[in-house]
Chain A
Amino acid sequence: MQRVATLLGALLVMAALWPASGLDMSARAQSPIQADGQNPMGARPTADSVNEEFLFKQSPKITGRISIPDGKAANLIQPQGRQYQMFREGWLPWIGALVILGMLAALAAFFLYRGRILTDHSQESGKKILRFNAFERFTHWMTAVCFIILSLSGLNYIFGKRLLMPLIGPDAFGALAQWAKYSHVYLAWPFMLGVIFMVVVWVRDNIPNRIDWEWIKAGGGFIGSKHPHAGRFNAGQKGVFWMVAGFGAAMGATGLMMLFPFAVFDVNGMQVMQVIHSLIGVVFIAGILAHIYIGTLGMKGAYDAMGSGKVDLAWARTHHDLWVEQEQARTASGPQVASHPAPAE
Chain B
Amino acid sequence: MARMKFLCDADRCIECNACVTACKNEHEVPWGINRRRVVTLNDGKPGERSVSMACMHCTDAPCAAVCPVNCFYTTADGVVLHSKDICIGCGYCFYACPFGAPQYPRVGNFGSRGKMDKCTYCSGGPEPDLSTAEYEKYGSNRLAEGKLPLCAEMCSTKALLAGDGEMIAEIYKQRVLKRGYGSGAWGWKTAYRETVAI
Partner of B69, one of A50, A74, A80, A173: A173
Task: Say yes or no: A267 contacts B32, CB within 8 Å.
Answer: no
B169 within 8 A of A: no
Task: Say yes or no: B180 contacts A81, CB within 8 Å.
Answer: no
Q: Please report A residues at the B interface, Cβ cutoff 8 Å.
A: 41, 43, 45-53, 55, 62-70, 72-82, 84-85, 88-89, 156-158, 160-161, 165, 170-171, 173-174, 177-178, 181-182, 185-186, 188, 258-262, 267, 270-271, 274
Q: Considering only CB atoms, which chain A residue lies closest to B97 in the complex? A: A81
- Chain B residues whose CB sits within 8 angstroms of the CB of A170 once the complex forms: 69-71, 83, 86
- Chain A residues whose CB sits within 8 angstroms of the CB of B48 once the complex forms: 49-50
**Considering the chains assembled together, what is the distance between the CA atoms of A47 and B10 in angstroms?**
11
Partner of A76, one of B17, B91, B103, B187: B187
Task: Say yes or no: B86 contacts A171, CB within 8 Å.
Answer: yes
Task: Say yes or no: B41 contacts A160, CB within 8 Å.
Answer: no
- Chain B residues whose CB sits within 8 angstroms of the CB of A69 once the complex forms: 32
**Considering the chains assembled together, what is the distance between the CA atoms of A260 and B110 in angstroms?**
6
Task: Say yes or no: B86 contacts A274, CB within 8 Å.
Answer: no
Task: Say yes or no: A55 contacts B181, CB within 8 Å.
Answer: no
User: A62-B41, A274-B95 given. 9 additional CB < 8 A pairs?
Assistant: A46-B11, A73-B39, A76-B39, A76-B51, A85-B66, A88-B65, A157-B90, A171-B85, A258-B91
**Considering the chains assembled together, what is the distance between the CA atoms of A88 and B68 in angstroms?**
10
Task: Say yes or no: B100 contacts A73, CB within 8 Å.
Answer: yes
| Residues of A contacting B: mostly | helix
**Considering the chains assembled together, what is the distance between the CA atoms of A43 and B181 in angstroms?**
14
B190 within 8 A of A: yes
Q: Considering only CB atoms, which chain B residue lies closest to A85 in the complex? A: B62
- Chain B residues whose CB sits within 8 angstroms of the CB of A267 once the complex forms: 94-95, 100
Within 8 A of A (CB), among B150-194: 179-181, 183-184, 186-187, 189-190
| Residues of B contacting A: mostly | loop
Task: Say yes or no: B100 contacts A65, CB within 8 Å.
Answer: no
B146 within 8 A of A: no
Q: A52-B184, A52-B186, A261-B91 are in contact. Are A161 and B86 (CB under 8 A)?
A: no
The count of residues in chain B whose C-beta lies closer than 8 Å to any C-beta of chain A is 60
**Considering the chains assembled together, what is the distance between the CA atoms of A53 and B40 in angstroms?**
16
- Chain B residues whose CB sits within 8 angstroms of the CB of A82 once the complex forms: 62, 96, 98, 190
**Considering the chains assembled together, what is the distance between the CA atoms of A154 and B8 in angstroms?**
39
Task: Say yes or no: B180 contacts A47, CB within 8 Å.
Answer: yes
For the complex of A and B, list the 8 residue pairs with the smallest distance between their C-beta atoms, beginning with the closest. A174-B86, A47-B181, A85-B62, A64-B39, A64-B41, A81-B98, A65-B43, A76-B39
Task: Say yes or no: A85 contacts B69, CB within 8 Å.
Answer: no
Task: Say yes or no: B110 contacts A185, CB within 8 Å.
Answer: yes
Task: Say yes or no: B66 contacts A76, CB within 8 Å.
Answer: no
B53 within 8 A of A: yes
Task: Say yes or no: B39 contacts A50, CB within 8 Å.
Answer: no
- Chain A residues whose CB sits within 8 angstroms of the CB of B181 once the complex forms: 46-49
Task: Say yes or no: A51 contacts B183, CB within 8 Å.
Answer: yes
B25 within 8 A of A: no
B107 within 8 A of A: yes
Q: Considering only CB atoms, which chain B residue lies closest to A270 in the complex? A: B95
**Considering the chains assembled together, what is the distance between the CA atoms of A73 and B181 in angstroms?**
28
Q: Considering only CB atoms, which chain B residue lies closest to A69 in the complex? A: B32
Task: Say yes or no: A76 contacts B99, CB within 8 Å.
Answer: yes
Closest Cβ of chain A to B116, distance in Å, is 13
